[in-house]
Amino acid sequence: MEIDLGPLSEGQTYALLTQTIIPRPIAWALTDNSLQGDAQWNLAPFSFFNGIASDPPMVMFSIGSWDVSGKSKDTLVNLRKKPAFTIGIANQNQIKQVQQTATSLDHGVSETTEFGISVHSWDWPTPLIDGCGINFACTLSKEVKVDESSQILVFAKITKIWVADHAVSRDSKDRIVIDPEKIDPLLRLGAGKYGSLGSVMPMPQV
């Protein structure tokens, strides 16, 4: 089947892209949602996400500038005020919580509190997301509006990476090796589906 995207609506195109660009990693973005100085954390998943550079280390994810009610997305509002944030890589056991945090709550309401998601502090303004085998300490670098759409590309610099100890080892050359099967990342597909890592196939480097 050959599909011409020209006649499709934005919603139809989105549905098609999310079912064909697969699998996708999920950026579980935790931002500072505090209104009166008390610690409140906004947590939301974004699956148009990937690493884009290693020097400097950068990631990018796409975020709608408005939610279904017409309000600016909390993640974007928070980053514009306080650019330091955390990205966690959720695992298979966190699928329900990832889905819950995709819903829209009133600004200032914490998803971590509302859905019982535990976090703990580290040497970064925003905490680690417990259960995630990987957490990135990120800072908003810039945002770019995508032409005439409501999408915003968020570019962020990674300052440091936290990896669960049980998933880390060193090879014969003392290089850090991370076991993806022990990270067990949750992957996003389309049409309301998620996926798992499946087979890992080591190949000699060329």
Look at residue 5 and tell me if it is in a domain: no
Tally of structural domains, the chain = 1
Is 3 a domain residue?
A: no
Whether residue 143 is contained in a domain is answered as yes
The answer to whether residue 186 is domain-embedded is: yes
- Domain annotation covers residue 206: no
Q: What is the residue-level pLDDT of the chain in tens, covering all 206 positions?
A: 999 999 999 889 999 999 999 999 999 999 998 876 666 899 999 999 999 999 999 999 999 877 655 567 899 999 999 999 999 999 999 999 999 999 988 887 899 999 999 999 999 999 999 999 999 999 999 999 988 778 899 999 999 999 999 999 999 999 999 999 999 999 999 999 999 998 888 888 77
Q: What is the CATH number of the domain that holds 87?
A: 2.30.110.10
Q: Determine, yes or no, domain membership for 162.
A: yes
Q: What tokens does 189 get?
A: 């597909």
Does 1 map to a domain? no
Are 21 and 191 contacting, i.e. CB atoms less than 8 angstroms apart?
no
The DSSP annotation for 49-93 comes to EEEEEETTEEEEEEEESB-TTSPBPHHHHHHHH--EEEEEE-BGG
Q: Which residues pair with 30 in a beta bridge?
A: 43, 86
CA angle 32-35-40, nearest 5°? 40
Question: The domain containing residue 77 runs over which residues?
Answer: 10-195
Is residue 105 a part of any domain in this protein?
A: yes
Interacting residues of 112 by C-beta distance below 8 A, sequence separation 6+: 30, 41, 43, 118, 119
